[in-house]
Structure 1
Amino acid sequence: MKAKQLRKLLCLALTGVMLLTGCGQNGDPADTGSTKESGAEDETKDTAAEDGTEETSTEDAGDEDAADSDTGNAAVGEGGKGPIVDEMVTYTLACQLSPNWGNPAEGEFWKKLEEETNIHIEWVTYLETEAEEKFKLLMASGDYPDGFIGGLGGNDNDIITYGSEGIYIPLNDLIDEYAPNFKRRVSEEYPNLMKTITCPDGNIYGMPSVLYNPDIYNNTFINKKWLDAVGAEVPTTTEEFFEVLKKFKEEDPNGNGEADEIPMTFIFSDWGASDHGPYFGSFGYPLAPDYLMIDNKEVKYLGAEESFKKGAQWLGELYAEGLIDRDAFTQDSSGMAAKVSTNTVGVYSSWDTTEAGDFAEDYVALMPLKGPEGEQNALVEGITGFYNGRFIITDKAKNPEILMQWIDRFYESMEVGLNATYGIGPDENKAWYYDENNEIVFKSGDDLPEDQVRGQQQLPFAPAILGDGVEDFLGNPAKNVIVNDMHKFAGKLDSGEWERWPVCYVTVEEKEDIATTETDLMSYSKNQLAKWIAGESDVNADWDSYLQELENIGLSHYLEVKQQIYDRYDSAE
């Protein structure tokens, strides 16, 4: 898969997830709460009718057949093959759909699952644009379903709140006894996943989805033709880099007779892919977008570390020499691309070389630079592919162990996960198939039958573990030579000495306690960094007063709470 296609796919994946789960760090949408309102049940039904979405009454949630069934007949075993119960039972599940998604009741995957398991699902569906409001009304009415799937009801705050109230039931024991597929995949592929899905009270209230989670690095590219023109090699140290940038500025490497060269550019406001963060790895910690790093189990605020000071000073020196683009603080991706694609930029940061257009082949990857004290660290960025609360069982469900065995089928293999979340296969006439080399081919565009478009047969955010096997299918950056080379400089993250902030549950009280402080800290640090790089202020002269202002904002308490959250996460089994 071409790099441009990969980037689009990753961005689309993030966008889709954000639409369903909001933009919080833990995939946590805005808090929907649980307000009790009179007449909520009628209002829920009326609004559903108005927007044309299909809604099935939840009055019979947890069919009496389920209550009366002999669960001793359930097929558990190694992955649970065949029927789960001898006689068909019915459960009601609620989900949210994009406007162009088909109702799961008509989906091929779900129909086949019913035939195999003897579990019939009555679906309650809401358009995602109104799902939050409908969810509030549904919970306030008390007439909620047996369970939620695909993200509806999966807000972290909701999971903690309704779990503590007993509305969402603990799944710990059910997983242990009735989810052999899930336990096997977790133990073999994602041993830390149990920590991610464990709530502060030690209970698990929602089953996760593990989609595509590649390691991605902040790639920086340098113009090799310009290097040849000035007689220089690819720099490996900050000192060599400085000298190369000076040559780019002074020696007309693009050969047009004009002093129009921009030695180095980036997007200061970017969230990671195109920003200045990787350069700080030459002085210790690379600067992560959330300004956090775990160092030997201790939470660090990167804006208060010496690496932040030293990186700011070095970038300030480059800026003072005219080696950094003056537009770096204000430009967006299109502005940067306009320069890179016209052969006027020596070094830039991005996902790939797409922005360079016709000059893309002129650029080669620049590895992390070795700093004055020998530091040479890569920042492992990522597309967060771990999502909590993709399947929740409520206290309305009779014999919830049946539902647990049903959902465990989703985790059986990567192929089942693909059928549930991406498309039906393996079949050359449907969404995906295996080619002669036993590699997955995913059909798209005009090659994909209309009734097989993602969302028509599946629920894209249903529970699943796609795992490493799907990386080839989606275009694995780990097979990219650049990524393999970058990986050599991520040893402290690979070894576990350093960790990025994990996806984990945070209590409502913790979130409210530090939310404003977190925003204020990062805003202050970023503003000061911009001033230091641009030469509007001196980092060495300001440093002590800067640290004091961080304390005034609440840094110590912020780190105390973050440490509490991390310690709880890390101690979960």
Structure 2
Amino acid sequence: MKRNWGTVLFSTLIISSLTLSACSSDKPSKENEGKTPADETKGVATAGFPIVKEPLKLKMFTRIAPTNGPFKDMPVFQDYEKMSNVQVEFIEAPTDGFNEKKNLLFASNELPDVMYRSGLTPLEAIRYGTGGQLIPLEKLIDAYAPNLKKLMETYPEIRPAITTPEGHIYALPGIVSVNSARTDKRWMNQAWLQKLNLKVPETTDEFYEVLKAFRDKDPNGNGKQDELPMTARNGLSIVPIMAGSFGLDFQLGYNINLENDKVNIWMGSDRNKELLMYLNKLYAEKLLDPELFTQKEAQYLTKQGTGNTGFFFDQTNNPMLDTKVNEQYIGIAPVKGPHGDSLQLAAPVPRDFGAFAITSVNKNPEATMRWIDYFYSDEGSTLLRFGRQGENYELKDGIPYYTAAFLNSGNQSKITPYAGGGAPHLISEKVASYINPPQVQEAQKKLDPFMPKIRYAAPMFDEQTAQQINILRNDIDKYYEEQSTKFIAGALSFDKWAEFQNTLKKMKIDELQKLYQVAYDNLKGQK
């Protein structure tokens, strides 16, 4: 139940954890008990439960991850139906082929009431919103979503990330307020450091020397040169993870630095060349996993769990299931690069765009907004992520933790739609016990000083601009990924860098930068 920020590379991070004290009964929470003021014209309570007096049915189209069980069997939806008086029929589509099924719904206009955990892209939200298949939500938020409205006031970067240039909101995001759910930690094998009498590296040069020692000096003590100094998720995930040491940021959901309010797409920059040359050196000397460009996720997770890896990245420590392996690792700070930079990659607070939308066939949008708003509270998020108190979790100092028996059952992903990512809800510190245990909290503290004050999410463009950007990026992103892979792997000489830069210019990267500049200027104007 973690988020793979390394994989959130050039498609998700470039384009565009757990809130707990769940209610397992059909009674309203104490803070809302007895408070059920209703909109007289709509019959919808603006606070408390039930949301409606007469039972209401909604159809929701959703993505079901391979690890999930049927949504109808999840405690969150069974118990929330009793609380809210709203019955949900989920139309489940598996992750494989999901986008095709989603597109077919809109193309055929055979719409459900709600798109739930449907991963709508900004372009889809604008296209289907302006086309009338999704309805604007901003007035509904003001009237029926106090929890979401409060979050939008607390984190001002949320509103511009989901608001179109015309001022409409067509889709709601998953919101992450706890920093540890927005970062990949930098896990280093402290047992190996101690064995070799090495200190935690603070610079890219020191990091290189530590990796060489891991490779050559037998830190696992078996007399064989079988240690893996460093690994990362498949493909170019290593680029955003290490980019901060070379002063490269990922603002606006793309390869962008913001310098004095100026957008700089850095793909052809000298700093990026330095980054790729450094990664090439690690790869050539077998300090970086030789299987980086071929391994699957399962292989990567296995390498984390062996204890025979010197350094890797992950949001949490769940893959290191063995306690002894866990004890081998500590989180470290980003290493400083040749220019003194040590930025930390982080996802934006509105992390999962397009998690929830209401369609034009929905006859009860007010009740629907009330229904989803509950999950933007700690109480609602606890129910969604942890299930039933006593049966699935217990409270310790007000924080929910899975019970030992339930953890041993291995059924955590069966009771919550969170597993697989993209669910519309709040991930706050109060609900993050499973992904934010003490070891992870300590690792996050090493990253906090290097986090950006604001991580701007991918902006909302009007449809014409979005189409322009998609056309430009289809070519630019593919070319950048292919060439960067070759540079790192040594299949392309850095003597070709000028040619690489010229090709990016021919692909109109300067025009792409101008479009992002306009979007950023508009975003600043909204604040």
Which TM-score applies when normalising by structure 2?
0.72
Displacement after TM superposition at 1:296 (Å)? 4.6
Greater RCO (CA < 8 Å, at least 6 residues apart): 2
Q: 1:187 is matched with which residue?
A: 153
> For the structure 1 residues 290 and 180, does the alpha-carbon distance in structure 2 shift closer, same or farther, using more than 3 Å as the test?
closer
Structure 1 vs Structure 2 CA RMSD: 4.9
Structure 2: runs of 5 or more not aligned = 17-38
Confirm whether residue 221 of structure 1 aligns to residue 213 of structure 2: no
> For the structure 1 residues 136 and 396, does the alpha-carbon distance in structure 2 shift closer, same or farther, using more than 3 Å as the test?
same
Aligned 1:229-248 pairs, distance under 5 A? 229=196, 232-244=198-210
Q: 2:265 is matched with which residue?
A: 301
Aligned 1:433-472 pairs, distance under 5 A? 433-435=394-396, 437-443=397-403, 445=406, 453-454=414-415, 463-472=424-433
> For the structure 1 residues 221 and 13, does the alpha-carbon distance in structure 2 shift closer, same or farther, using more than 3 Å as the test?
closer
Contact 2:214 2:229 (8 Å CA) reproduced: no
> For the structure 1 residues 512 and 487, does the alpha-carbon distance in structure 2 shift closer, same or farther, using more than 3 Å as the test?
same
Aligned 1:238-277 pairs, distance under 5 A? 238-244=204-210, 260=225, 264-267=229-232, 269-270=234-235, 272=237, 275=238, 277=240
Confirm whether residue 564 of structure 1 aligns to residue 490 of structure 2: no
State the SS of the aligned residue for 1:94. Answer: strand
Displacement after TM superposition at 1:562 (Å)? 3.0
In structure 2, which of residues 350, 354, 358 is the aligned counterpart of residue 392 of structure 1? 358
> For the structure 1 residues 524 and 389, does the alpha-carbon distance in structure 2 shift closer, same or farther, using more than 3 Å as the test?
closer
In 2: Cα distance, 1:450 partner to 1:263 partner: 32
Contact 1:94 1:152 (8 Å CA) reproduced: no
Q: 2:26 is matched with which residue?
A: none
Q: 2:25 is matched with which residue?
A: none
Contact 1:423 1:453 (8 Å CA) reproduced: no
Structure 1 residues 317-341: Cα deviation after superposition (integer angstroms, max 9, x where no partner): 5567x46358255452677788888
Structure 1: runs of 5 or more not aligned = 1-8, 18-22, 29-68
Structure 1 residues 111-162: Cα deviation after superposition (integer angstroms, max 9, x where no partner): 32344xxxx55747354578767766665666755x3152459554443233
Which TM-score applies when normalising by structure 1?
0.67
Displacement after TM superposition at 1:415 (Å)? 1.4
In structure 2, which of residues 366, 390, 398 is the aligned counterpart of residue 428 of structure 1? 390
In 1: Cα distance, 2:372 partner to 2:466 partner: 31
> For the structure 1 residues 104 and 193, does the alpha-carbon distance in structure 2 shift closer, same or farther, using more than 3 Å as the test?
farther
> For the structure 1 residues 324 and 459, does the alpha-carbon distance in structure 2 shift closer, same or farther, using more than 3 Å as the test?
closer
1:428 is matched by which residue type in structure 2?
A: G
Q: 2:443 is matched with which residue?
A: 482
Q: 1:349 is matched with which residue?
A: 312
In 2: Cα distance, 1:395 partner to 1:568 partner: 32
Displacement after TM superposition at 1:536 (Å)? 5.6
In 2: Cα distance, 1:331 partner to 1:97 partner: 27
| Count of residues paired in the alignment | 490
Aligned 1:364-379 pairs, distance under 5 A? 364-379=330-345
Q: 1:201 is matched with which residue?
A: 166
In 2: Cα distance, 1:233 partner to 1:105 partner: 47
Q: 1:332 is matched with which residue?
A: 295
Structure 1 residues 386-437: Cα deviation after superposition (integer angstroms, max 9, x where no partner): 3425141526526x445444544444x3112333x33543x313x33424x3
In 2: Cα distance, 1:368 partner to 1:452 partner: 32
State the SS of the aligned residue for 2:202. Answer: coil
Aligned 1:100-111 pairs, distance under 5 A? 100-103=69-72, 107-111=77-81
> For the structure 1 residues 96 and 14, does the alpha-carbon distance in structure 2 shift closer, same or farther, using more than 3 Å as the test?
farther
Q: 1:45 is matched with which residue?
A: none
> For the structure 1 residues 516 and 112, does the alpha-carbon distance in structure 2 shift closer, same or farther, using more than 3 Å as the test?
same
Range moving further from structure 2, 94-103 or 349-358:
349-358
Q: 2:35 is matched with which residue?
A: none
Confirm whether residue 417 of structure 1 aligns to residue 381 of structure 2: yes
Contact 1:104 1:110 (8 Å CA) reproduced: no
State the SS of the aligned residue for 1:183. Answer: helix
State the SS of the aligned residue for 2:59. Answer: strand
State the SS of the aligned residue for 2:337. Answer: coil
Larger Rg, first or second structure (1 or 2): 1
Contact 2:6 2:233 (8 Å CA) reproduced: no
Contact 2:204 2:245 (8 Å CA) reproduced: yes
Displacement after TM superposition at 1:164 (Å)? 1.4
